[in-house]
């Protein structure tokens, strides 16, 4: 039972354009959502997060949008840069001392010149 889904395994975007990565979840109890970026041969790196009390969080070129009614979140990268090429994992959790991350399957983003 995949509670967090990223339906696009890969995405190719031109440098300077917007990259939009999507994530859907099924567990309505999730209240905290995160995006991690992973380069080959490295561990996932925390990128940006959003609490369920918000519908948008922005950090520089990265913005995460949350639509609770649709159980959908998205990561926008503007403008996209070649160094953004990586695998992006969406993750979700119910906050608390025993909470644990549930990851999506990942989307491989390639930013072309």
Partner 1 sequence: DTEVTQTPKHLVMGMTNKKSLKCEQHMGHRAMYWYKQKAKKPPELMFVYSYEKLSINESVPSRFSPECPNSSLLNLHLHALQPEDSALYLCASSQVPGLAPGNEQYFGPGTRLTVT
Give min distance, CB of 74 to partner 1, in A: 18
Give min distance, CB of 56 to partner 1, in A: 14
Distance between CA 105 and CA 83 in Å, rounded? 21
Please, are residues 112 and 13 in contact by the beta-carbon 8 Å criterion? yes
Give min distance, CB of 113 to partner 1, in A: 26
Task: Tally the residues of the chain.
Answer: 113
Q: DSSP for 7-72?
A: --SEEEEETTS-EEEEEEE--TT--EEEEEEE-TTS--EEEEEEETT-SEEEETTEEEEEETTTTE
Distance between CA 2 and CA 83 in Å, rounded? 29
Per-residue contact flags (x/-) with partner 1 for residues 8 to 47, judged by CB under 8 A: ------------------------x-x-x----xxxxxx-
Paired with 5 in beta bridges are 24
1 touching partner 1, by CB under 8 A: no
Give min distance, CB of 77 to partner 1, in A: 19
Per-residue contact flags (x/-) with partner 1 for residues 66 to 95, judged by CB under 8 A: -----------------------x---x-x
* Residues between 47 and 66 that touch partner 1 (CB under 8 A): 49, 51
| Residues within the interface to partner 1 (CB under 8 A) | 4, 32, 34, 36, 41-46, 49, 51, 89, 93, 95-101, 103-106
């Amino acid at each position: 039972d995949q509670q967090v889904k990223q339906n696009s395994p890969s995405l190719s975007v031109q440098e300077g354009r917007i990259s939009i990565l999507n994530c859907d979840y099924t567990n309505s109890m999730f209240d905290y959502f995160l995006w991690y970026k992973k380069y080959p041969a490295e561990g996932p790196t925390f990128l940006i997060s959003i609490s369920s009390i918000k519908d948008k969080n922005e950090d520089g070129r990265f913005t995460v949008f949350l639509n609770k009614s649709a159980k959908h979140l998205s990561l926008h990268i503007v403008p996209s840069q070649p160094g953004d090429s990586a695998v992006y994992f969406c993750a979700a959790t119910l906050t608390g001392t025993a909470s644990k991350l549930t990851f999506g399957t990942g989307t491989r983003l390639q930013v072309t010149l």
